[in-house]
Amino acid sequence: MGMEKVSGERKKRRVRQKKKKLSVVQKLYDTCREVFADCGPGVVPSVEGIERLKHILNGITAPDVGVSPNMPYFKVKETSGFPKITYLHLSHCDKFSIGIFLLPPSGVLPLHNHPQMTVFSKLLFGTMHIKAYDWVDDGATVSTPEVDLSKGEVTPVSVRLAKLKVNSAFTAPCNTSILYPTDGGNMHCFTAITSCAVLDVLGPPYCDPEGRHCQYYRTHPFTCFSVDDKKLPDGEKIEDHAWLEEIDKPASLSVVAAMYNGPKIVEK
């Protein structure tokens, strides 16, 4: 009986040791599986689930995922467009994806949307300016004339009214930001002031066949167009609104994949 008791204690100790060795990245993956299990396009996780993910992400640091400002990806080469951005893939399934964007100084992820998604973003290091919008109306676009000064022509432009939700610079360490399908700045633009690393969790991830396409936008000041039924409510500032025009992915935008060399995730 004595030997059995000792053997049982050893097994318990090994189990405890295994639990202690669980990486924070594995904890993030395991929590994502649970939090997004019953979610789908347009379905926001429960308040409890959101808080669980926020708690884990708020505690994650750059060394936890094996990234640092000294990595070669942050060396800017002369370019006529945006500096090249690197993406490290950690995990992807139909429910969620986990990845890290590495932006060199002056790197820009142009204004883009996250259709039917809940997105968690954690700035791991650096200083980044974020500008984000949400739609004002029910989704209707309006066609308005725009003058092409170079050609002297008037052409119709389809735009939709959006309200500015975020327009600030953030410096790590800072709390995780969250955007929702219709709130929290679903359309955002990232501009790296210094070398930056951003850990992103998307639920669900982009999927063209299911209609979750990454759409890019060009902004126009509110005063550019006059639309009869688009009046701002009393107290609303003109500078806090803009017309967004859908555009193709900017030709100068380059996002390249690279190998993630941080702690491995055991996918289940």
Angle at 221 between CA 186 and CA 123, to 5 degrees: 35
pLDDT per residue, tens digit, the chain (268 aa), is 555 555 566 655 555 545 557 999 999 999 999 999 999 999 999 999 999 999 999 999 999 999 999 999 998 776 677 899 999 999 999 999 999 999 999 999 999 999 999 999 999 999 999 999 999 976 556 766 665 545 556 677 889 999 999 999 999 999 999 999 999 999 999 999 999 999 999 999 999 999 999 999 999 998 887 666 667 767 788 899 999 999 999 999 999 999 999 999 999 8
How far CA 74 is from CA of 55, 86, 194, 214, 252, in Å, comes to 28, 9, 9, 25, 17
Residue 210 pLDDT: 94
